[in-house]
Amino acid sequence: MEHSDLTSQLRNVWIAILLLIAGVHGHAQNQYLSFGTGGTPMALGGDYRALGWNPAQISFSPLNHADWKSAAGGFEFGARLSSTALSRGDIWNSLLNRGNGSIDDWSGDDWNQYVDLLTNESITLNADVLTAASSKKWRNWAVAYSNTQHFQAEAYFDATPIQLLVQGGGGEWAALFDSLLTDGGAAVENTGDFSAEELLSFQGGININGDGLIAELLQESRLGFSYQRCHTIGISKAWKLGDFILHTGVSGQLILGNGYFSVKTTDGNLDAFGAFSNGFNYDALATLQNGVPNSFEEARKWGPVGQGWGLDFGGVLELKDQFWISTAISDLGRVEWRGERYSVNTALTTWATPVEDPTNVGDLMLGALSPNTWFNEAALETRVIPNGIKFQLGGGMHFGKFLMLAGEMAFDNPDLIGNAGTRLGATAVISPVRFIRIDLGLSKWGNETYRIPAGFTIRSGNKGFECGLQATDIQVLWKESQSEIGFRAIVMRWVW
């Protein structure tokens, strides 16, 4: 494979990410990637950007000037792709044209090299958009509203499912089937005595216990994604307590889900569930040529297939212009999905892979996250998915007008899609001049390696227009590699 092939593959992945940001409606169980807060989005969140993290900080807002009255957001977005495969130095040498820059030692036309690269590999994708937001503060009260969209996907592959997706079927796993299919479509009992040449002549296999077969194939693999839109409104109040100020806040969310998919095996039992609205299935737009939906059930499929709610509570104790400590309980609530439980009563499969281009990482992920790849039957089911309660602690300290340090920790349920389990972070915010703010952080999500996010914000003064850019990790600037590619950006924001 040539260098341009790898570049093309990675370009395709990022095109897919950008399309998802532009076209996917979603806010999920975890919060959006708040801009300009380094590795501590809860401790440094303020005005409408405190929603989803700690609503008490709507009135606190440590990054705003003390006398701010209003804030409005026009367009903020972010995306991160995390994978241990990205920690390989030869990949980054090739991408950045460092040293020899050769990729021949890890990629090529041989499918085994792709299997080796992705086996036992965790891949995580988050993409977020904030399309409308506003916050207002008067005296000791503050309110905020935000409209956020979020997409998140997770995939962890054992060797066998990756082999199936990349190469298709073959003699290596023919023993899993009760019978094998000949060219003519006849079924031959699988005695296990076939030669390698005979196995290559078969076109597929049959297994009576289809769910058991899929569970055995997937083993410890986990596949899942969700995409949702969230309307959030919050209120906060400041209470004077001597030299201290106590901020308390609460926020509520209306969650509208456009898609959910989860496949995993527990104690050898398969659990597969999905829900998709026709509004997200672009192919379904073709059905409109036959007329608009003429029944309630048909029309309902074009709307959100998930409806839910969420609540967040928080508090901040502040010693003005010196330090603060904060705590929050967030993501209380649930989403009810109207979807399908997938099954394979009789597994009848060919050796062909369902993925159009198995050597394209983007096509491979889309194929793995499609129910049609693994299942041929479904039964209607309504399932309630909890948001996943998160406990958060944080704080920070001012060092004059030019430096601010903050830290935080959070804990949630890692079994839910998008949740890290444990999140740790620290941030330094530097303001060398009035119109520039620089943030440099350190963060760790779950079992992932440490990240060093860094960014800058350009401001028209203590109050006014803001825009900026942030990278979710910059270690590749001095190290051989890093396991995450990501960015956050703010196109337009106004504080006055």
**Which of 70, 74, 133, 59 has the alpha carbon at shortest distance from 496?**
70
Give me the pLDDT at residue 5, please.
47
**Whether 127 contacts 24, CB under 8 Å:** yes
Report domain extents, the chain: 3-495
Q: Are strands 222-241 and 204-207 parallel, antiparallel or unpaired?
A: unpaired
> pLDDT at position 10, please?
36
Concatenated DSSP letters of 219-230: TT-EEEEEEEEE
Q: How far is it, in rounded angstroms, from Cα 451 to Cα 473?
A: 5
Q: What is the DSSP letter of 449?
A: P
Distance of CA 149 to the CA centre of its chain: 11
Q: Smallest Cα–Cα separation from 343: which of 370, 377, 369, 383?
A: 377
Q: Are 233 and 251 in contact (CB under 8 A)?
A: yes
Are 83 and 125 spatial neighbours (Cβ–Cβ below 8 Å)? no
End-to-end Cα, the chain, rounded Å: 54
Q: Which residues lie closer than 8 Å to 67 by C-beta, 6 or more apart? A: 463
Strands annotated E in 357-463: 377-386, 390-399, 403-411, 422-433, 436-445, 454-459
From the centroid of its chain, how far is CA 361? 17
> How much is the pLDDT for 429?
97
> How many whole angstroms separate alpha carbon 259 and alpha carbon 199?
39
Q: What is the pLDDT of residue 381?
A: 92
Chain position carrying tokens 């901040």: 316
Structural contact between residues 179 and 200, judged by C-beta atoms closer than 8 angstroms = no
pLDDT at 327: 97
Give the pTM. 0.79
Which structure tokens are listed for 402?
């030019």
Kindly state the DSSP code that residue 450 receives in the 8-state scheme: P
CA distance 408 to 397: 12
CATH assignment, 3-495:
2.40.160
d(CA 333, CA 418): 16
Q: Assign 419 to helix, strand or coil.
A: coil
- DSSP reduced 3-state for 276: strand
> Hey, how many other C-beta atoms are within 10 angstroms of the C-beta on 415?
10
Burial label, 282 (beta-carbon count in 10 A; 0-12, 13-18, 19+): exposed
- pLDDT tens digits for the chain (496 residues)? 443 443 344 334 333 333 333 333 333 344 555 667 889 999 999 999 999 899 999 999 999 988 899 999 878 889 888 887 777 777 777 667 676 554 444 444 555 666 777 777 778 888 888 989 999 999 999 999 999 988 888 888 777 777 777 766 555 566 777 788 777 777 888 877 777 677 767 777 777 777 777 777 777 777 888 888 999 999 999 999 999 999 999 999 999 998 898 888 877 778 889 988 765 444 444 444 455 555 555 555 556 889 999 999 999 999 988 999 999 999 999 999 998 998 876 655 665 667 777 666 667 777 777 787 777 778 899 999 888 899 999 999 999 889 999 999 999 888 776 677 899 999 999 999 889 999 999 999 887 778 999 999 999 877 889 999 999 999 988 888 888 889 999 988 999 9
| Chain segment 49-59, per-residue pLDDT in tens | 999 899 999 99
* Residue 192 exposed, middle or buried by CB count within 10 Å (0-12, 13-18, 19+): exposed
> Residue 171: its pLDDT value, please?
54
Q: How far is CA 158 from CA 95, 119, 213, 219, 222, in A?
A: 27, 5, 15, 7, 9
pLDDT in the model for residue 196: 66
Where would I find the H helices in 445-486? none
pLDDT tens string 2-57: 434 433 443 343 333 333 333 333 333 445 556 678 899 999 999 999 998 999 99
Say if CB 363 and CB 357 are below 8 A apart.
yes
The DSSP string of 86-128 is GG-HHHHHHHTT-TT---TTT-SS-HHHHHHHHTTEEEEEEEE
SS3 content of the chain, % helix, strand, coil (to 5): 20, 45, 30
Distances (CA, A) of 165 to 9, 96, 269, 328: 16, 29, 22, 42
In this predicted structure, what is the pLDDT of residue 301? 55
Closest by Cα among 237, 100, 218 to 159: 218
| CB-count exposure of residue 61 (10 Å: 0-12, 13-18, 19+) | buried
Q: Which residues contact 453 (CB under 8 A, 6 or more apart)?
A: 38, 39, 439, 440, 441, 443, 470, 471, 472, 473, 474
